[in-house]
Structure 1
Amino acid sequence: MRKIQYISLWIFSFTLFTACKKDLLDIENPNEPTTETFWKTEDDAQKGINAAYSRFYKEGTWMRWLSFRYDLSSDEGWSTSPWNELGDWTRFNYVNYNFFEGNNVHWQDFYVGIFRANQVLKYVPDIPFADEENKKLILAQAQFLRALWYFQIAILWEKGALVLEPTEAGYVPEESSEEAIWAQVEKDLQESATVLPEKWGDDDLGRATAGAAKALLAKAYMQQHKYAEAMAELKWLIDKEGTLYGLMDEYLDNFTHYKENNKESIFEIQFDDKNKGGTGEDASMATGFQRTQFYAPSPVGWQDGKARPWFINEYKKEKNLDGANDIRLYYNLYYSGSAADFPEKSPLVYGMTWQKGNWGDQTYVRKYSTGYYREVEDYFAPNNYRLIRYADILLMYAECIAETGGSLTDAASYVNKVRQRPSVNLPSLQNSIYKDVLNSKAKFLKHLQMERTLELCFEGWRWIDLKRWGMLDTQEGINELKSRDADFNNFIIGKHNRLPIPQIEVDNSGGKFTQNPKY
């Protein structure tokens, strides 16, 4: 049951924002559940948590636009969209703070997701269950999802409304600090990790697990430089290597729809191409991965998002143990020299040879594209999005070891696992052209920044990593990013580290919300 029956749930979430007193003229519509008629049975509770998961099928999340904030705003990518305002929001040219696709859509979709999780946490405790353990599982999932959305708010705006119960229309929340939001993220994940199972059955693939909660908690700790705390959570996952988690031999298996929910997946958003509707709230709402349509080269897709070409040279700096180029370059990028660099692999791009007249020397994102099985993109790509992978866990653990003063040799052993995946087959760091990075903590951590992006590029973590490493806080860091991405010539330190609060939220807050600094 691949979609966790998300679609049966659009049901009621918006109708529950208000609850009015009834009088004799009120007529109850059985097709529009309210708080008085819903939240009565175990089935209601299950539909409620499924409704919270269904927020993944909205444009402001990883389904479509969030990659513009995380991939294209970082030095990994850029936008050449003919829609100038869309492109400008990856170039730090923010004029209209209410630009929907660049700002408000994220705020809206995250807070609707929070509202749905809050509904579950508010009403499910009063529902009688035959087995109270099932109730606890539903509540723990809601806590995980609420934490996941608040994590994005802390990253993108660095403040927001900390709302922990469903509210009625007209409610105006207070502004909460980044520190308060991180504290709530920690609390929700700490509590949910103790309840969630290590693994769900086949009918519930895609639900949050204890490992997913611990991995996200580790990321929250790391963003606050709490490396010792993060290390403890990551160790739990690493101790499960070989029994629950591990690396797939084939790197590509993490990005197609053929081997989904595999051992490398820590948390995976379930997409498919069965529903081909819009992204509304009806039963035919789309459940496909839409980013592929925006990243694919024309005429296959819209080519709104492209990769920066510096990746090509970075991958080619070292050969694997067979003397060949790093296969991750082939699987992550489409570029004009790919056929020559990988003569044993298909030179075709969605069934076409390189279109020199149309594509020139541009670099496109192959990762998560569906060119491995079809010749055109659409809004209904079937491949799941692996939000957190075990490779990420290993690289984060290596970072935590170094940051806490541990052995660099020990830290390198976890990096080596990623480098020496059978299909990648790179030498160990100790035997590589980068062996000198083991001579100092500073050199090791700097090199680890590149190891992370070569493994995890276009998976939504680069912008978050840049913030954690402080590269957005100093002119030295910005100069390095400028050398790879000209968009950073527009970057203003202390301003573009965060998005502007949607202006409509500031205007409607009655003074309870202030705009972010320098906006």
Structure 2
Amino acid sequence: MKIFIIRLLLSISCIATIYSCDDYLEEVNPNEISADTFFQNLDESNAILTGVYGSMLNSWIVSAREEAWRSDMAYPGIRDGNIDNRALNFYQHVILEDNEFINDRWNALYQVIWRANQLIEGLNGMDSSLQSDQRWTEQMGQARFFRGLAHFYLHSLYNQGRIVIRDAAPSTSEEFSKPLSTSDEVMAFFRADLVYAYENLPASFAEKTRATAGTAATILGTSYLYSASDNPADYQTAKTYFADVINNGAYGYSLVQDASIMFTDAGDFNSESIFEINYTVAQQLEDDNFDEESFFTRNARYSAPRESGGSNANQQFTAASWLIYAYATEPLNLSDARNSVFDRGTNTIRPRKVSLRSSAMIAMVNDEDTEYYLAPSAPNAVDFGSNQRKYGYFKKYTNHTIVANENNTGDISWKSGKNVIINRLADVYLMYAECLLMGDGNVQGAIDLINPIRQRWALQLLDANSDLIDGTAYSVQSLMDHLMFVERPLELSVEGVSIRTIDLRRWGVGSSRFSDLATRSYYLTDYEYYNDENDALESRNNSFVREGISPDPSGDPQIVQEYTGAAQFYTDGYLVLPTSETLNNTSVSSSN
């Protein structure tokens, strides 16, 4: 499947040119072939559609590292070390309009819109015989899906949703200069595009890289969930779309039961994947590390351990202390056979050290039951403690199941072909559960959607009459707390497009969350593990995260307090309008 989209992208690389504002506003691009001369048949327009998909390769759209810092998921650099100022700005929520990241991300999303508009205009210019072809409808559905999707992301990320609606590709400065629209106007616009896609796209394509009606339904449902805090009736609309995604067998979605393939190459485009960005290191490795049209990503470099090809301290995102501790203490269902494992040191059967979910999501020192970078376990592969002072590495963007070092995938660790999952079914289950809980007050219905996910990971199931904390019956609020601070962050950590940052904002808990985390204390102890190479027990010093105040700070050091800056500076979780727009668009100013 990777080869299919690679060939298509290569075939249109000479015509699907990226333009800066100056490029496409100030001069005619001699390489551009206009829609009226190019779109003579649906094969040619399909090549331009592939260019729209290609624009999604831009890593700034997901911005996994920066959004990890901006949420409550990750810590930048090493503890007790200097934090790079750029990383510190995200971590403390002090991001100004001239920040390179928010400009690059804004431009990347409008590039998707610009290409989609080119395709829409070209398709609309075709004669009636072509417009009656099913392929025309499918191409138009995908073009409008991506135009709607990019507007949805911009609306969710920037300026309280007040952004510029671009329903046509501007060809002059005058056409480029458009005022901001209200949040409601933007929602109406992108939902119209997404509804068109939902109603006109098939349930599936032979090419799994393509957006389908199920993809459109997922984004539509998500958009209504995001607005339900202001309009509770939107919970009901969101439920309709989520129920379709879960129950419509034509889509072919189902929760993956083989936990070992989650977030691995073996799990590319699995039954749980709804929308996935396709990367590879099989083509164009000569491209620059920061070429956003390349087929590789930098995510592995930013999230792998240094011993395994990861970057230096100031460039990385590693798990926050609270998250490491939460993963390490997830309650297992001990009656599930998957939680009984063979101990290589004692040659006996014992319970797993950490949950299957934990093992799939992050690497930490006490996971002795999962291979990591081809080593028998995480502590066999990584120091974690004294030297690194990084206690949890995210796995979702790394190649830890196929190589011993990230340099072995794309010559250097800057270049990874690991796919990036944007939307998957587990998220839809949890969003549907939230709708039942907050829209209907249906505690049992919400639990019935959460438990299949927990069952997949062999976790202790939720019981409406006995919660996991004190054994009392779940209320709407206590189950919502579990959803907000346990289920969603542990299932969806550093995943998708800003999922966690948006969740904290739409729930109205961002400020209180960071204030709470800023008061929590964690410390480190040594961890004794079985070293397979030496056939002996050895210790990883100061590597195991414990909650509370250290009883022996000289021997078991306290971890530096986290999120104190975010507790002070967090506002509403939105990014401000970037200077790339306010300086070039005369109808918009930085005061808007």
> Into which bin does the TM-score normalised by the smaller protein fall?
0.7 to 0.9
**Aligned residue for 1:39?**
39
Shift of 1:253: 2.0
**Aligned residue for 1:254?**
262
**Aligned residue for 1:457?**
493
- Structure 2: stretches of 5+ with no match in the other structure: 229-233, 336-350, 407-412, 521-560
State how far apart, in whole Å, the 1-side matches of 2:575 and 2:428 are. Answer: 27
**Aligned residue for 2:98?**
98
Contact 2:275 2:421 in 1 (8 A): yes
Contact 2:243 2:432 in 1 (8 A): yes
1:460-471 equivalences in 2 (<5 Å) = 460=496, 461-471=499-509
State how far apart, in whole Å, the 1-side matches of 2:391 and 2:470 are. Answer: 32
Shift of 1:19: 10
Contact 1:200 1:207 in 2 (8 A): yes
Cα distance change, pair 357–463 in 1 and its aligned pair in 2 (3 A): same
Cα distance change, pair 240–482 in 1 and its aligned pair in 2 (3 A): farther
- Structure 1: stretches of 5+ with no match in the other structure: 22-27
Contact 1:265 1:386 in 2 (8 A): yes
Shift of 1:77: 0.9
Shift of 1:321: 2.6
State how far apart, in whole Å, the 2-side matches of 1:347 and 1:480 are. Answer: 37
Contact 2:515 2:563 in 1 (8 A): no
SS of residue paired to 1:447: helix
Cα distance change, pair 79–281 in 1 and its aligned pair in 2 (3 A): closer
Contact 2:221 2:238 in 1 (8 A): yes
Match for 2:322 among 310, 313, 319?
A: 310
Q: Deviations over 1:165-218 (max 9, x none)?
A: 0111422121122222222221111111011111111xx221101111001111
The letter of the residue matching 1:221 is: Y
SS of residue paired to 1:78: strand
Contact 2:178 2:588 in 1 (8 A): yes
**Aligned residue for 1:405?**
440
Match for 2:334 among 313, 321, 344?
A: 321
Q: Deviations over 1:15-63 (max 9, x none)?
A: 7946989xxxxxx96x65234532232222111111111012223123x
Shift of 1:454: 1.1
Contact 1:306 1:365 in 2 (8 A): yes
**Aligned residue for 1:119?**
118
Query: RMSD of aligned C-alpha atoms?
Result: 3.0
**Aligned residue for 2:145?**
144
Q: Deviations over 1:426-453 (max 9, x none)?
A: 3343466258575311111111111111
Contact 2:93 2:570 in 1 (8 A): no
State how far apart, in whole Å, the 2-side matches of 1:427 and 1:495 are. Answer: 36
Contact 1:212 1:267 in 2 (8 A): yes
Shift of 1:344: 8.9
Shift of 1:79: 1.5
1:371 aligns with 2:400: yes
**Aligned residue for 2:203?**
198
Shift of 1:107: 0.7
Shift of 1:249: 0.9
1:95-494 equivalences in 2 (<5 Å) = 97-100=97-100, 102-128=101-127, 129=130, 132-157=133-158, 158=160, 159-170=162-173, 171-201=176-206, 204-225=207-228, 226-240=234-248, 244-275=252-283, 276-278=285-287, 285-299=293-307, 300-302=309-311, 303=313, 304-315=316-327, 316-322=329-335, 323-324=351-352, 325-339=354-368, 342=369, 347-349=376-378, 352-354=381-383, 356-360=385-389, 362-377=391-406, 378-421=413-456, 423-430=457-464, 433-434=468-469, 436=471, 438-449=473-484, 450-460=486-496, 461-472=499-510, 475-483=511-519, 486-487=562-563, 489-491=565-567
Give the number of aligned pairs: 497
SS of residue paired to 2:264: coil
The letter of the residue matching 2:396 is: K
Cα distance change, pair 38–85 in 1 and its aligned pair in 2 (3 A): farther
State how far apart, in whole Å, the 2-side matches of 1:147 and 1:97 are. Answer: 24
Cα distance change, pair 426–368 in 1 and its aligned pair in 2 (3 A): farther
Contact 2:255 2:426 in 1 (8 A): yes
Cα distance change, pair 481–220 in 1 and its aligned pair in 2 (3 A): farther
Q: Percent identity?
A: 23
Deviates most, 189-198 or 267-276: 267-276
1:515 aligns with 2:544: no
Cα distance change, pair 488–195 in 1 and its aligned pair in 2 (3 A): farther
**Aligned residue for 1:25?**
none
1:13-28 equivalences in 2 (<5 Å) = 13-14=17-18, 17=24
Contact 1:247 1:263 in 2 (8 A): yes
Match for 1:74 among 71, 74, 89?
A: 71
1:501 aligns with 2:580: no
Shift of 1:67: 1.2
SS of residue paired to 1:267: strand
State how far apart, in whole Å, the 1-side matches of 2:227 and 2:270 are. Answer: 30
Deviates most, 409-418 or 382-391: 382-391
Q: Deviations over 1:446-473 (max 9, x none)?
A: 111111111111213211211221113x
Contact 1:277 1:286 in 2 (8 A): no
Contact 1:437 1:447 in 2 (8 A): no
Contact 1:273 1:380 in 2 (8 A): yes
Contact 1:192 1:213 in 2 (8 A): yes
State how far apart, in whole Å, the 1-side matches of 2:91 and 2:359 are. Answer: 27
State how far apart, in whole Å, the 2-side matches of 1:329 and 1:277 are. Answer: 36
Shift of 1:220: 0.5
Contact 1:272 1:381 in 2 (8 A): yes
When the two structures are superposed, what TM-score results if normalisation uses the length of structure 1? Answer: 0.87
Contact 1:185 1:220 in 2 (8 A): no
State how far apart, in whole Å, the 1-side matches of 2:25 and 2:565 are. Answer: 47
The letter of the residue matching 2:582 is: V
SS of residue paired to 2:275: strand
**Aligned residue for 2:9?**
6
